[in-house]
Amino acid sequence: MSRRGRRALLIAIVAVPVLAGGFVATGLAGPVLNRVDQAYARWSLESRIDDFWEARQKGDIAAAASFILPSCQSRGGLGNAVRYWSHEIHELKIQGDEADVIVNLEFTVALPGFDSGPGSKRKQGMRQKWVRSEGTWYWDPGTAEGQGLPPVGS
């Protein structure tokens, strides 16, 4: 999502509570605010996922590491043997402070014996678990599953 789109969504999220005062009298405040909370959670998670994968695509391991759950950051694990070219969020399910995400990735492997040029791109789905801690979403690499999923919905 572009900065412009993020700004518009943020303005909408801030404006709704101000307008919600009118909904309190009609009994609609609870459902309206709940939807706003859900929309904000989804938007903030999508933004974090996009920023994480954009850092990976740039090869900025330090920036990407800042998106990892703080309790898992000391484990490392973000090497640069894989060159990521693109990502697409295919599925996102939020349950409270946890989210299951499937991201379709386009990448090459940069190891001896593997062709790592743009012509050798591979596509694969990856299931990730993201956790919200103190209002911020983090990837929990300790629960990574399905590293070898075929690209979903492609």
Taking only the tens place, the pLDDT of each residue in 25-82 is 455 556 656 777 888 999 999 999 999 999 999 989 889 989 988 887 776 667 777 8
How much is the pLDDT for 3?
Answer: 60
Alpha-carbon distance of 43 to 48, in angstroms, equals 9
Question: How high does pLDDT run on average in the chain?
Answer: 77
Residue 14 exposure: Cα atoms within 13 Å on the Cβ side: 6
The H-or-E segment that residue 105 falls in is strand 98-109
The predicted model scores a pTM of: 0.71
- In a 10 Å sphere around its CB, with 0-12 CB exposed, 13-18 middle and 19+ buried, how is residue 3 labelled? exposed
How much is the pLDDT for 144?
Answer: 57
- CATH architecture designation of domain 3-149: Roll (3.10)
Asked if residues 131 and 70 have their Cβ atoms less than 8 Å apart, the reply is: no
Alpha helix ranges (H) inside 27-68: 29-58, 61-65
Per-residue pLDDT for 23 more than 60?
A: no
- In a 10 Å sphere around its CB, with 0-12 CB exposed, 13-18 middle and 19+ buried, how is residue 100 labelled? middle
Alpha-carbon distance of 35 to 12, in angstroms, equals 12
Domain ranges of the chain: 3-149
